[in-house]
Amino acid sequence: MAANPMTQFEVYRIGPEIKVGAFDISFTNASLFMVISSLAILIIFNIGSKKNSMLPSKIQLLAELSYTFVSKMISDTAGSKAKPYFSFIFSLFMFVLFCNMFGMIPYTFTVTSHIIVTFVLAAFIFIGVTIIGFMKHGFGYLKLFVPSGVPVVLLPLIVVIEIISYLSRPISLSVRLFANMMAGHTMMKVFGGFVISLGIVGGWLPLSFSVALTGLEILVAFLQAYVFAILTCIYLNDALNLHH
C-alpha cells in the first residue's frame, strides 16, 4: 500500500473491461466487496434460519437477535404500518453494516466510503419514501411542509425551510455515512503512516492511537449503519403517519 492515505479509496478494475453501450460496468474492487458483503449476509442468515431448534445455536441466535433488533427499531420509530418495509430496511441495515465492517479488515476496500454508493442508496430511499407518501395521502402529503400551529406571517418562510430540509435529506443521509467512513479510514491511515515514519523509538504513541482508533472505528461502523437505518425509518414514518 502506498503512503498516501487516500489511495485506499481508489477503485480499480478486476478482470476485463465490460462495456454496455457507453457505460463502463467493469467488475471492480468495490463490486468485489459488495458481493462479499452480500454473500456473507446471505450465508450467515441462511445458516441461522435453516434449523429451528428449541435451543438456538449461536449463529441462529445471531440471526434472530438481528431480526428482533431491526423489527423493534422499525416498530419503535415508524409504528406498525411500516411492517411491509421491514425486509428492505433489514437488508439495508445489514448491507451497510457488513460493508462497514468488512472495511475494518486491513487491506480491504470500504464500499460505503464512496459518495456515489451512499448517494444512490439515499436517493433510492428518498424517492421511495416520497412515492409512498404521495400514494398514501395524495396531495395531502404536501401538508408535511406546513407545520400546524405556526403563525400565518411566518408560514412562507417555514414552508421554504421545510422544503429545503426535505430535499436535503438524501444529501445529508449519504454524506453522513460517506464522510464518517472516509474520515475514520483516513485517520487510521495517517496514524499508521506516523508509526512508520517515527520508527521503533517514537512509533509507539501513534501505534497505540491506531489501536484505539480501530475500536472507535468499529463502533462508528455499527453506529453509522444504525443511524442510516433509523433515519430511513424516520423518513418512512413521515410518509406513513402524517403528523404535521
Partner 1 sequence: MIKKYFFQLIFLNLFFIKEVFAAESGGMPQLNPEFWISQIFWLTLTFGILYIILSKLILPKISSNLELRKSQILENIEAAEKQRNDADTKLKEYDDIILKSKLEAKNIFKEVREKTLKNINSKRENLENEINQEIKNAEQEINLLKKSAPDKINKIAIETSSEILKNLIGADVNSSSISAIVNDLSKRNRNKYYDN
Q: What residues make contact with partner 1 under the rule CB under 8 A?
A: 2-4, 6-7, 9-11, 23-28, 30-31, 34-35, 37-38, 41-42, 45-46, 48-50, 52, 54, 56, 60, 63-64, 67-68, 86-88, 90-91, 94-95, 111, 113-117, 120-121, 178, 182, 193-194, 196-199, 201-202
Question: In the complex with partner 1, which residue's Cβ is closer, 178 or 235?
Answer: 178
Least distance (Å) between residue 47 CB and partner 1: 10
Alpha carbons 126 and 139: distance in angstroms, whole number: 17
Three-point CA angle 20, 25, 28, nearest 5°: 155
User: 209, 191 in Cβ contact below 8 A?
Assistant: yes
Least distance (Å) between residue 68 CB and partner 1: 7
Cell representation of residue 92 = 439495508
* DSSP state letter for 6: T
Least distance (Å) between residue 225 CB and partner 1: 14
Alpha carbons 234 and 242: distance in angstroms, whole number: 12
Alpha carbons 137 and 219: distance in angstroms, whole number: 38
Question: In the complex with partner 1, which residue's Cβ is closer, 152 or 201?
Answer: 201
Question: In the complex with partner 1, which residue's Cβ is closer, 59 or 158?
Answer: 59
Least distance (Å) between residue 191 CB and partner 1: 11
| Crossing angle between the packed helical segments 169-202 and 86-103, to the nearest 10 degrees | 20
Question: In the complex with partner 1, which residue's Cβ is closer, 59 or 242?
Answer: 59
User: 232, 89 in Cβ contact below 8 A?
Assistant: yes
Which residues are paired to 13 by β-bridges? 28
Question: In the complex with partner 1, which residue's Cβ is closer, 199 or 215?
Answer: 199
Least distance (Å) between residue 63 CB and partner 1: 6
